[in-house]
């Protein structure tokens, strides 16, 4: 029966149907269904093509000549393990994501529309668009059909039921780490009833939260259900090693094989310990091995970032980055790691909150060969790991800079943005050197400032634990703005050339417009909006009548220092209400930002890049 016919029968209050008031709340269901299944293919194809065009395709083909024969052989196994990591990430994003992925991929050649859907899904790794506040770009009509062969109650003549994998319009904040019907209050009530050790386990990086009731359908199929009762303690914890067991066993086997091939001692140790961690769920030793990695073949693989957990920022997603080390560039950035303790000592923050034992963060510069897992949407240009506060306190952090990704973004995105938005007299200040130097300093500054803190009650905690869902955006903003402060400090100290003192601010201004285009639901975009609006309100950034911007060099230094102090103090106090207030008041799309974004949109500057891994794909094809 067609939807409209059924609605009409209900409206006429036909006695053949269960009575529902179509003018009441139930009537909204018809509007939702009509919207989801309404399909103007031509219009949707144009929209998808525009969304895809926001990403500039970049071919990455780094040279492998510096790799030894053993490491080249190991690379093949590492790439295969990275593909397994990709599968785990798809599963982490949403409970029906793998089914949807396989469905879209299988149908990609049915029509040009189906191909566009698959292309854009592949960029976002989900049905939600990263650049559109994580709104769904697909409808349930585009989704996968599942066949359930086991019904909760068997019916003679029925083999099963087919349905589409429906999904919400907005990305579920708990991803697939928590039951989809669990809210924050339920989790907190349950967690607070656990012993302290189990609370740490529940809020740890490497566990998912399940609901006992999720097991009921298979149980009910075999019983009358008379003994099944729901209790208040319905949630329980499952380690990653169990939740993703089959995939992690496969990845561990591949990494062990790679370890046997490699002739680099530090790489052999990393691969072996990481393989063991996949099975034991204890990543401490493997994270130390990652920090000590000293190999021409650079590998980062495992669960790290917590951006996908929009509820608490507790749970880590799997990712892999494989690259070839750039020795010359690595030696050039050593300066920043050597200056961390001095930077910590002089931070614009009350001395009571400063640390006396900041470890110099090793920095490795690589040219990216392949990535997988949590690399959806906009591509990262650097990362600072690990996030485990135990290691941060003992050893600090380590950084990896992706130089070929930075070069691609500067050329294809930042320079065109500068042409559109920066006044002519300051446009030449936008240069790759200050842009890249600030990226390095940004990553270094993740390692300074508050991490483990003491609350006013005397309780020991961490910034991440106290700020929860506001932590990621505020931490990205901190690394950015304190990074600018740190560059100025190092220039005054004579360790960096004075020529950077103006160009770094103008390059940063152009970079603000680039990052905000990622959307204000994304941590980097939200953090960038906070910084731009603060500096604009302080008069450090100026909007002129021609719609272009410039930096007021007489005001920018004080404005940068004031925001640095504000964020660092919030983190040091673990002040969640203050973090929420700061982001609500400043991390929004205000009129000056809209002016810039409209100009960039009019010029059709790409928002980001999407890498095509030429060298890696050839290696994988040869191994088939």
Mean pLDDT of 36-61: 90
Is 144 in contact with 164 (CB distance < 8 Å)? yes
The residues, any chain, with a CB within 8 Å of residue 432's CB and separated by 6 or more, are 406, 407, 410
pLDDT tens digits, 307-330: 999 999 999 999 999 999 999 888
| Side-chain-facing half-sphere of 261: CA atoms under 13 Å | 19
Does the pLDDT value for residue 434 go beyond 60?
Answer: yes
Q: Is residue 445 part of a domain?
A: yes
Q: Give the span between the Cα atoms of 291 and 96, in whole angstroms.
A: 35
Q: Please report the pLDDT score of residue 115 as a whole number.
A: 98
Q: pLDDT tens digit string along 184-216?
A: 999 999 999 999 999 999 999 999 999 987 655
Instruction: Specify the residue for token string 């007299």.
Output: 425
**Residue 572 is part of which domain span?**
326-358+406-607
- With respect to residue 552, please indicate whether it lies within any of the assigned structural domains: yes
Query: How many domains, in total, are found in the chain?
Result: 1
Whether the per-residue pLDDT at 222 is higher than 60: the answer is no
Q: Cβ neighbours of residue 137 under 8 Å, at least 6 residues apart?
A: 47, 48, 51, 120, 124, 127, 128, 129
Q: What is the mean pLDDT of residues 591-598?
A: 90
Please give the full DSSP string across 611-624, using - where no structure is assigned. Answer: EEEHHHHHHHHHT-
Q: In whole angstroms, what is the distance from residue 470 CA to residue 311 CA?
A: 10
Distance CA 624, CA 612 (A): 19
Q: What is the mean pLDDT of residues 335-364?
A: 88
Mean pLDDT value of segment 78-95: 97
Task: Tell me the pTM.
Answer: 0.78
Helix, strand and coil in the chain, % to nearest 5:
55, 15, 35
Question: What 3-state class would DSSP assign to 402?
Answer: strand
Mean pLDDT of 93-116: 95
Distances (CA, A) of 541 to 183, 362, 370: 40, 33, 38
* pLDDT of 607 over the 80 cut: yes
Supply 523's token pair.
Answer: 């941590």
Residue 227 maps to a domain: no
Residue 366 forms beta bridges with which residues? 325, 402
Q: Does 220 or 9 have the greater pLDDT score?
A: 9
SS3 623: coil
pLDDT surpassing 90 at residue 36: no
130 in a structural domain: no
Mean pLDDT, residues 366-384 taken together = 95
Assess if residue 267 is contained within a domain.
no
- Residue 618 maps to a domain: no
Percentage of residues of the chain with pLDDT beyond 70 = 94
Q: Is residue 435 part of a domain?
A: yes
Name the average pLDDT for the chain. Answer: 90
Residue range 418-429, pLDDT digits in tens: 999 999 999 999
Whether 315 is in a domain gets the answer no
Q: Would you say residue 239 has pLDDT above 70?
A: yes
Residue 227 pLDDT greater than 60, yes or no: no
Label residue 154 by pLDDT band (50, 70, 90).
Answer: low
In Å, how far from its chain's centre is CA 175? 12
Percent of the chain with pLDDT over 90: 70
């Amino acid at each position: 029966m067609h939807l409209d016919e059924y609605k009409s029968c209900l409206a006429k209050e036909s006695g053949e149907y269960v009575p529902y008031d179509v003018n009441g709340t139930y009537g909204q269901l018809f509007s939702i269904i009509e919207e989801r299944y309404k399909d103007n293919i031509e219009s949707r194809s144009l929209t998808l093509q525009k969304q895809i065009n926001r990403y500039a395709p970049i071919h990455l083909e780094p040279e492998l000549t510096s790799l030894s024969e053993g490491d080249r052989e190991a690379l093949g196994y590492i790439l295969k393990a990275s593909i397994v990591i990709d599968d785990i990430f798809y599963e982490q994003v949403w409970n029906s994501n793998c089914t949807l992925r396989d469905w879209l991929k299988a149908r990609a050649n049915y029509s040009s529309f189906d191909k566009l859907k698959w292309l854009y899904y592949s960029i976002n790794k989900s049905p939600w668009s990263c650049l559109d506040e994580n709104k769904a770009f697909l409808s349930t009509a585009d989704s996968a059909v599942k066949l359930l062969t086991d019904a909760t109650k068997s019916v003679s003549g029925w083999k099963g039921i087919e349905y589409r994998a429906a999904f919400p319009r907005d990305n579920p904040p708990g991803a697939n780490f928590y039951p989809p019907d669990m809210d924050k209050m339920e989790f907190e009530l349950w967690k607070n009833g656990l012993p302290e050790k189990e609370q740490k386990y529940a809020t740890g990086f490497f566990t998912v939260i399940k609901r006992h009731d999720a097991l009921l359908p298979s149980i009910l199929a075999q019983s009358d259900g008379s003994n099944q009762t729901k209790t208040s303690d319905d949630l329980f914890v499952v380690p990653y090693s169990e939740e993703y067991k089959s995939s992690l066993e496969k990845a561990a086997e591949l990494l062990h094989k790679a370890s046997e091939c490699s002739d680099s001692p530090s790489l052999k140790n990393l691969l072996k310990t990481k393989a063991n961690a996949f099975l034991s769920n204890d990543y401490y030793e493997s994270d130390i091995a990652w920090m000590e990695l000293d190999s021409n073949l650079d590998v980062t693989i495992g669960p790290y970032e917590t951006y996908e957990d929009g509820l608490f920022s507790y749970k880590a997603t799997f990712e892999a980055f494989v690259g070839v080390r750039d020795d010359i560039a690595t030696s050039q950035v050593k300066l920043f790691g050597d200056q961390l303790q001095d930077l910590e000592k002089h931070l614009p923050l009350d001395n009571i909150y400063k640390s006396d034992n900041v470890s110099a963060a090793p920095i490795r510069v690589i040219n990216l060969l392949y990535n997988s897992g949590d690399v959806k949407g906009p591509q990262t240009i650097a990362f600072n790991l690990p996030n485990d506060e135990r290691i941060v306190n003992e050893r600090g952090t380590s950084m990896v800079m992706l130089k070929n990704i930075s070069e691609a973004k500067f050329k294809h995105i930042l320079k065109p943005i500068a042409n559109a938005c920066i006044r002519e007299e300051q446009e030449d200040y936008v240069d790759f050197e200050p842009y890249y130097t600030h990226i390095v300093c940004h990553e270094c500054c993740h390692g300074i400032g508050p991490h483990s803190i003491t609350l006013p009650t005397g309780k020991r905690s961490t910034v991440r634990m106290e700020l929860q869902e506001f932590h990621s955006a505020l931490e990205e903003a901190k690394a950015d703005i304190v990074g600018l402060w740190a560059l100025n400090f190092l220039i005054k100290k004579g360790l960096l050339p004075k020529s950077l003192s103006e160009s770094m601010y103008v390059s940063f201004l152009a970079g603000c417009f680039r990052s905000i285009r990622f959307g204000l639901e994304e941590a980097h975009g939200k953090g960038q909006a906070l910084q731009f609006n603060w500096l604009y309100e302080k008069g450090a950034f100026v909007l002129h009548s021609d719609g272009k911007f410039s930096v007021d060099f007489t005001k920018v230094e004080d404005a940068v220092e004031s925001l640095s102090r504000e964020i660092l103090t919030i983190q040091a106090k673990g002040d969640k209400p203050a973090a929420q207030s700061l982001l609500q008041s400043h991390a929004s799309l205000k009129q000056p930002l809209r002016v810039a974004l409209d100009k960039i949109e009019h010029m059709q500057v790409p928002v980001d890049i999407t890498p095509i891994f030429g060298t890696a794909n050839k290696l994988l094809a040869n191994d088939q």
